[in-house]
Amino acid sequence: MTQAMTAAQAIEQSIMQTETVDLPYDEAVALDLLVECDDSVDGDAVTEYWGTTDDGEEWRVHMALPQHVRCECGTALGERCGWTGDPSETVIVEWMPEYLRASHLAAGNAGRFPVNGAIHLRCERSCAELLTADEDDAPWARIIG
């Protein structure tokens, strides 16, 4: 992806090099592109902006969509969590599903992830702390990253 660039610079580059310019997500640049474009559409991973200048020159810019993830603590707690946000605000919790715990104990706690049946959950930090402090889940859940 191209380094930090203004909307005007991206449009200029697209015109001069007759190419689609790819940009990382930047809210201010996205708003400027929205003002300048003739139309736009959100795809799976990018928003596509395009337009034609007053001189008839066509341009096209793609901007990555902001990265958001959903907290997966609900897998362990039995209720979907409403938190969504930046992946940097999450941690990974290794958690053993309740239905595997007895067989895991019978096997002498043998095995390591992933063959022991544990799963990794991406959780918002406060949810992860709640899960690892829960009386029933604490021995079966730990923050690993």
Residue-wise pLDDT tens digits, 92-114? 999 999 998 888 888 887 677 77
Calculate ∠ Cα 111-113-117, nearest 5°: 80
Q: What pLDDT shows up at residue 50?
A: 95
Please say if the pLDDT value at position 2 is more than 50. no
Please say if the pLDDT value at position 22 is more than 90. yes
Per-residue pLDDT, averaged over 5-26, amounts to 94
Q: 110 or 81, which is more confident?
A: 81
Q: What is the pLDDT of residues 36-45, one digit of tens each?
A: 999 988 877 8
Q: Where are the domains of the chain?
A: 7-64, 69-143
Q: How confident is the model at residue 66 (pLDDT cuts 50, 70, 90)?
A: confident
User: Which among 117, 120, 54, 125 is positioned nearest to 87, based on CA atoms?
Assistant: 125
CA 83/CA 73 separation, integer angstroms? 10
